Amino acid sequence: MEALVATGLQATAAKACVSSPRRLFTTRMAISGSNLKVTKQSSANSPSSLSPQPLCVRYSSPSKCQRFAIRAMSGESEKEIAYGLPIDLRGKRAFIAGVADDNGYGWAIAKALAAAGAEILVGTWVPALNIFETSLRRGKFDESRKLPNGSLMDIVKVYPLDAVYDTPDDVPEDVKTNKRYAGSSNWTVKEVAEAVTKDFGSIDILVHSLANGPEVTKPLLETSRRGYLAAISASSYSFVSLLQHFLPIMNPGGASISLTYIASERTIPGYGGGMSSAKAALESDTKVLAFEAGRKGQVRVNTISAGPLGSRAAKAIGFIEKMIDYSYVNAPLQKELLADEVGNAAAFLVSPLASAVTGSVVYVDNGLNTMGLATDSPTLQI
């Protein structure tokens, strides 16, 4: 039987009929843009011919009849088809807590979500608010704001935020009168959630991208109770507080993510002051919050364990460049870890593509978490 081939045409389904002992194959193809109808007919007893017959395939059983049609689209129409598996966050609104410059993971996550179509709101630490907003306004971040389609990421609104304090009653007097907080108001977690509710009504995505340990450079044995609890408060409980206050305005099917680090489960000398404990608490809380937020609000909760990045905040650790070098040499993938790679992972986790993923720690570190031996150890050189 002859084969009919139409280059650049894409076929989709249609009809079949079975009713005659005589094998008759008829094909009808409607080609968009040309009004061309081709009918191919052939039988065991006659040569192939072209006729304007309807599509039909006939076999011996008169009781079974199924019809199908074949539709082909021209190359021009085919161009309109979207190939691949896109992350589509159009119509979604995200609040990213902890964006204060353009070189951290929080910024990268905001860009990835914006590139996928989400509306972006950010919460910026109050003492950094003025510099951040000024830089935005003067275009200093314009190069960093560029999205893959050439447009600039639009931050719809920037909210002052200090996630260490849940309500105005929690703010000590010395902070209220601190000149770094002068000119800003309504910046506790509860007040920011209320402001977002008033301004936008609801959100779909909540991102926790903040941490602080005032004694991070101290070994754990030298860390004070105050410093330890401060690290826990700013780096892990702040996520609990954010979700506690934002969950009531999160749409069902929404998602929340935070950022953790491998020090939660492995010893990283120099990452002290209770920060390793704070990250361990954050990961444990992720599992519990996934259950509670899932049952209460149909919201997913995950955390990303990201590799070291030379951001402004990370430089407070003091040896971040050495950590980056160590990761490059010892990770399975010997390449620089980019902030955008963490942003892309975050976009996936908050998208419908990850609708069954919750309570998970997702590693984005070039595979460093899998290693149990440092390949650059002098011991291995012997």
- Told to judge if 261 belongs to the known catalytic residues of this protein, a careful annotator would answer yes
Q: How far is CA 238 from the centre of its chain?
A: 20
Whether residue 92 contacts residue 78, with contact meaning beta carbons closer than 8 Å, is answered with no
Catalytic residue among 271, 326, 328, 363: 271
Tokens coding 374? 């440092």
Whether residue 206 contacts residue 254, with contact meaning beta carbons closer than 8 Å, is answered with yes
Euclidean distance between CA atoms 197 and 249, whole angstroms: 7
Going by C-alpha positions, the residue among 250, 246, 265, 251 that lies closest to residue 303 is: 265
Euclidean distance between CA atoms 211 and 232, whole angstroms: 9
Tokens 């903040």 — which residue? 210
- Told to judge if 363 belongs to the known catalytic residues of this protein, a careful annotator would answer no
The distance in angstroms from the start CA to the end CA of the chain is 71
Cα-based distances in Å from 185 to 129, 135, 159, 241, 318: 12, 21, 10, 19, 33
Euclidean distance between CA atoms 117 and 108, whole angstroms: 14
Euclidean distance between CA atoms 316 and 327, whole angstroms: 18
Euclidean distance between CA atoms 50 and 29, whole angstroms: 12
Catalytic residue among 237, 261, 326, 363: 261
Give me the torsion for CA of 38, 43, 46, 52, rounded to 10°.
Answer: -20
Tokens coding 378? 């002098």
Tokens coding 267? 């010893």
Rounded to 5 degrees, what are φ and ψ at 58?
Answer: -115, 135
Euclidean distance between CA atoms 192 and 236, whole angstroms: 18
Tokens coding 268? 């990283």
Whether residue 283 contacts residue 264, with contact meaning beta carbons closer than 8 Å, is answered with yes
Tokens 């070098």 — which residue? 325
Residue 379 is classified by DSSP as G
Whether residue 159 contacts residue 195, with contact meaning beta carbons closer than 8 Å, is answered with yes
Positions annotated as catalytic residues are: 261, 271
